[in-house]
Structure 1
Amino acid sequence: MKITIIAGARPNFMKIAPIIDAIEKKKNLGFNINYRLIHTGQHYDKKMSGDFFEQLGIPEPHANLEAGGGTQAEQTAAIMTRFEKELIENPTDLVLVVGDVTSTMACAITAQKLHTKVAHVEAGIRSGDWTMPEEINRLVTDSITNYFFTTSEKANENLRTSGIGRERIFFVGNTMIDTLLKQMPRFQKPAIWDKLDLKEKQYIVMTLHRPANVDQEDSLKNLIDTIVRSSRNVPLVFPVHPRTAKILTAAGISASNLHLIEPLGYLEFNYLVKHAKAVVTDSGGITEETTVMGVPCMTLRDNTERPETCEIGTNELLGTNPIAIPPSFDKLFSDNWKKGRIPDLWDGKAAERIIESIINVYQISQSKVLQ
């Protein structure tokens, strides 16, 4: 059996690493299963691509489509055009896409138009917010997917409600958490730790990148000023995406306890998160990691596609109005933040379940062909 695995952006890399490991384990047991890894090049920055492959032990891709840059439409077109050529030259039994980035949607469409089955890892999650490109990617991908691998019962419910048969939905857990649990012993203290003289549970990690938060200078300044005023002078460590850094500079945003640093590799960033007092973010993936590591998390968004991190985990959805920030920091500093627990099947074995399910489905389909 041949599987083509798609990776395009930083969040994808954490999700594909354990899937590749699971395939290699099956191969070593004598199963006839092989994979071809395609990097679409959607993210081509060293910190957002190369470092992750090295740190997570992901092998060099068999091909890089180098389709980064441009508008959403230009990027989608470039990925589809180049992946079509790749798939014609290297036919496969299954295209496996992960997450909700542009590459996920573009490669799923291309595969189906070439009559190749698609499996979607992290299927069924929904924010209900159509202003987010990721939500459109999720909806389109799931509308043309053959096999759905989910992280939560809520995702299962979303798929069933949309008319997907139960036999095509596989509740397997979270491959990003597979990577987190495997790599946790290898987390690396970043150089910034000693430079800023950081102390365990005595600093806060920030990440902001969504257009609703960072595109308008005035609203971004108001947001960060409120965080700074609420932080009781605790160090705020903010790894900044280059695009966001330009906006911060233009807005003249600065404070004595606000430390803007370069993007970090996976092992260094998660070291910071694990030892932080809290995380302030607008990232969905980070809310999953903080939930597993038991770190308080404040999400500056009006909705989330990962409600289990709020209902079960350590995350709270504050919205985008800065008025919600001061009382949340008061709760944090008075040690009244909820403890949370780890969602079902977030146990480090999701990828094994995925590959086991794919092999079973393939074997059943082959037996029907032979009958």
Structure 2
Amino acid sequence: MKSLSRSRVTAEDVLDGLTTAVLVVDEALRVMALNAACEGMFGISRRLALGMPLLDAIPQFKCYESRLRSALQTATGFIERETELRRNGDPGVTVDWTVTPFLAAGKKPGLLMELLAVERHLRISRDEQLLAHFDASRELIRGLAHEIKNPLGGIRGAAQLLEREYPDAGHREYTRVIIREADRLQNLVDRLLGPNRLPQKAPLNIHEVIEHVRQLVQAEAPDGVTVLRDYDPSIPELLADREQLIQAILNLLRNALQAVDGEGTIVLRTRTRRQFTIGALRHRLVVQIDIEDDGPGIPPTMIEKIFYPMVTTRAQGTGLGLPIAQYLVHSHGGLIECRSRPGCTVFTVYLPLVTPQEMA
């Protein structure tokens, strides 16, 4: 097997391959270097952050400015466990972090900071459990659907025979009820199973899909609902089934529309995440789609159950929109997560960014 030339592997490649966030600052606490995991952790751009004061690039460190300057002056590092780094309005991130002083070229001091997100391991475990439960529930539904559809077909066929045997209006009224209800149950079972075809993947622009869905929902939204857009235009095309993604995002956006109940704000946001894990698989690049609403939120007792079929928080809900959306995204190797509190509910879609060039 032909070995790779050493010159092809750079220090930046190695740093970007780490799941630990790495950040380097100089004697003035200016950002000298950071890796992809650090970009993903704090939602910043390396291109914009390099050379900036640390506290401007990553305001989450403002509470620790004196501690960092002391580490520079005394050349003494430190380790902090389960530190919450928070910025106003952000959910914050809990990390274990290590700060190590060093001497850069020219004998100038600096700090090497390594940050490991504590909740990352919890999220991976939670995602694996969610996917396992989802797969188990789908197998259960498939088994139940098979047991239900067979007798339904027999009931419908018997009703049609009765209708031919007794064609008078009095009997036809009863047979029509039987046939109509059998068809309704058949349709319900089919909806529980979701789409019965594999994704037909083709290159697409994720923003074209989101905009198509936004226009559909905007047309049916009351005047009191505002839909805002916050897109990352640098996201490349990905390989996906356009119709299935439209259905998944439409289900989520309609869910948000129902949550604000005629008056509120919905935000559509896109970002990319590097070196991101979905379930047990780590991906070089992932598309993140957030659908955020300022509705009343989802009760904590329901948050773990909302992706199960027939579970709903609304009296008129069917409990099928979210499970179907999860199934469609899951069939693309992705996942939908949800976090919620009163006034802010966010459904996040993660899709592996497999480009047409990588598939070629």
With the shorter chain as reference, the TM-score category is under 0.3
Q: Give me the TM-score of the superposition, normalised by structure 1.
A: 0.24
Structure with more of its chain in helix, by fraction: 1
Structure with more of its chain in strand, by fraction: 2
Q: Give me the TM-score of the superposition, normalised by structure 2.
A: 0.25
Bigger Rg over Cα:
2
- Structure of greater relative contact order (alpha carbons < 8 Å, 6+ residues apart): 1
